[in-house]
């Protein structure tokens, strides 16, 4: 009877070495270059402000003096936004153009409405005279 000792290593014969062809030496590869980071792109705040004020001017064209103020601010800020978005690192050219168009379209009816109301008040004052 054979005794089995679990702590004794196996006594198997080692396999015969197999011939392998010599391998070519490849030098270690250099580290990969870091990817070029994308440039930091920001949206022009002037373009956003011009677009918001242009939309407000377009909606509130019936408010006499406030709309002219909003419209002219929208035109100025949008123009500055177009200039700023042309510089590298800034976007928002489309918003600036939209603000410019909305500002112009908001100022034109506001001027017409103001001339109409001032014409009405002037006509009413001339027709009534001092008795009204």
Inside any domain, residue 25: no
How many CA atoms, within 13 angstroms, populate the side-chain half-sphere of residue 121? 5
pTM: 0.64
**Domain total for the chain?**
1
Inside any domain, residue 33: no
The single-letter DSSP state of residue 62 is T
How high is the pLDDT of residue 127? 58
Domain that holds residue 54: 42-123
Give DSSP secondary structure letters for 47-75.
Answer: HHHHHHHHHHHHHTTTSHHHHHHHHHHHH
Is 101's pLDDT higher than 90? yes
Inside any domain, residue 85: yes
Residue corresponding to tokens 């030496």: 25
CA atoms of 89 and 20, how far apart (whole Å): 59
How high is the pLDDT of residue 25? 75
Inside any domain, residue 84: yes
Is 128's pLDDT higher than 70? no
Residue 126 or residue 92, greater confidence: 92
Inside any domain, residue 12: no
Inside any domain, residue 107: yes
Inside any domain, residue 4: no
The model's pLDDT over 29-51, given as tens digits with 9 standing for 90+, comes to: 777 777 777 778 899 999 999 99
Inside any domain, residue 3: no
């Amino acid at each position: 009877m054979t005794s089995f000792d679990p702590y004794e290593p196996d006594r198997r014969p080692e396999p015969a070495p197999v011939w392998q062809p010599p391998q070519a030496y490849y030098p270690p590869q250099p580290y990969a270059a870091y990817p070029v980071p994308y440039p930091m792109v920001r949206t022009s705040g002037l373009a956003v402000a011009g677009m918001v004020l242009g939309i407000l001017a377009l909606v509130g064209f019936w408010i006499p003096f406030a709309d002219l103020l909003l419209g002219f601010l929208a035109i100025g800020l949008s123009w500055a936004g177009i200039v700023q978005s042309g510089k590298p690192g800034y976007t928002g050219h489309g918003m600036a153009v939209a603000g410019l168009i909305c500002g112009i379209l908001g100022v034109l009816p506001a001027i017409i409405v103001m001339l109409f109301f001032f014409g009405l008040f002037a006509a009413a004052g001339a027709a009534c005279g001092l008795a009204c």
